[in-house]
Amino acid sequence: MSGLLLILLAMVISLGLTGLLRRHALRRNLLDLPNDRSSHVLPTPRGGGLAIVITVLALLPVLWLAGALTFEALVGLWGAGGLVAAVGWLDDWGHVPASRRLLVHFVAAAWGLAWLGGLPPLLLGGMIWEPGWVGHLLALVCLVWMLNLYNFMDGIDGIAGIEAITVGVGAALLFWLTTTGPGGWLPALLAAASAGFLWWNFPRARIFMGDGGSGFVGLMLGLLLIHAAGAAPALFWAWVILLGVFVVDATLTLVRRWRRGLPLHQAHRSHAYQYAARRLGGHGPVSLAVGALNLFWLLPLATLVALGRLEGVIGVLVAYGPLIGLAWYFKAGAAEQQDI
């Protein structure tokens, strides 16, 4: 099966599965009801991200058979992604205590990291640095944070799907620009599955991704970053740049709320993208702006880093500077009425 045919198949499968999941959610009354901490105003089915999960996990073995990833990578991605999706799906249906979810997140991230061989050597200051056990531990924590921040950022129509598509497509292009291997089909597969789901989630959401889907996508992006860095060290920093919008908004919001003594797992509407959606009067402009930032600001900088024309850390600083300014301008983490 050609790569392009696989991508098209992923989009079609995800599109159809999302529709079936929406019908199932409506029949079982699995609805996300609006409250004072929501960004939506109508009861909406949730759990549609399971279509992304099923599509990606079903087609990963095809990529393995085609030689696009090793057996170890297949086991790592399958086990980690399946575990996170399962606990998220249970939480979508009922409630799993935050402490138990976090434990599962660490187990899943550790599983994926171990099967991928840990954090690969990093390119820093023109030299290759071995991360050691401290680097592997930091990578584990960052994977869990990536998983959870994606869930935090999945709060308005289309934003999580557009992020997955633009980052996945950008990462695939960078992989093909810098290596001769077929590994670029991995982020392309995730992007295609997310595109099938997005048709149901934007411009007005007819179903939400849910914790199972958002956690899966977040962890997959983190693990694919490590997989890409193993093929070309410069891709580590390129991926960090591509993920900048979500990383900056979620991290700045968390830090500001933590400084005010607020529970970090508590639902809220104080992300920069949420303030921006309320100020601009809709979800669409904000989600499209995230896609535009990814394609026209972050991807060019990531390309320079991947091609070795810009040092990685400098590229991250240049990319993140304006993002931090935007997040601060839109009051990321600022006190809401409920917090006062």
Determine the pLDDT at residue 266.
Answer: 76
Give the least confident one: 28-37, 89-98, 258-267: 28-37
Q: How far apart are CA 34 and CA 40, in angstroms?
A: 6
Q: How far apart are CA 207 and CA 3, in angstroms?
A: 29
DSSP state of 336: P
Query: What is the CA 79 to chain-centroid distance, rounded?
Result: 17
Would the annotation count 151 as a binding residue?
Answer: yes
Segment 105-120, tens digit of pLDDT:
999 999 999 999 999 9
Determine the pLDDT at residue 37.
Answer: 63
| DSSP per-residue string spanning 88-153 | HHHHHHS---HHHHHHHHHHHHHHHHHHTTSSPPEEETTEEE--HHHHHHHHHHHHHHHHHHHHHH
Instruction: Note whether 82 and 245 are within 8 A (CB).
Output: no
Determine phi and psi for 206, rounding to 5 degrees: -100, -10
What is the number of other CB atoms lying within 10 angstroms of the CB of residue 12? 13
Instruction: Note whether 217 and 49 are within 8 A (CB).
Output: yes
Query: What is the CA 88 to chain-centroid distance, rounded?
Result: 14
Mean of pLDDT values over 13-21: 97
Determine the pLDDT at residue 277.
Answer: 95
Instruction: Note whether 303 and 241 are within 8 A (CB).
Output: no
Which helix (H) or strand (E) segment is 32 a member of?
strand 31-32
Instruction: Give yes or no for residue 340 having a pLDDT over 50.
Output: no
| DSSP per-residue string spanning 230-289 | HH-THHHHHHHHHTHHHHHHHHHHHHHHHHTT--TTS--S-SHHHHHHHHHTSSHHHHHH
Q: How far apart are CA 201 and CA 160, in angstroms?
A: 9
**The token pair that represents 15 in the structure block:** 């599109």
**The token pair that represents 152 in the structure block:** 């935090």
Segment 163-188, tens digit of pLDDT:
999 999 999 999 999 988 788 999 99
Determine the pLDDT at residue 128.
Answer: 86
Would the annotation count 148 as a binding residue?
Answer: no
CB-based burial of residue 259 (10 Å sphere; 0-12 exposed, 13-18 middle, 19+ buried)?
A: exposed
Segment 278-308, tens digit of pLDDT:
999 899 999 999 999 999 999 999 999 999 9
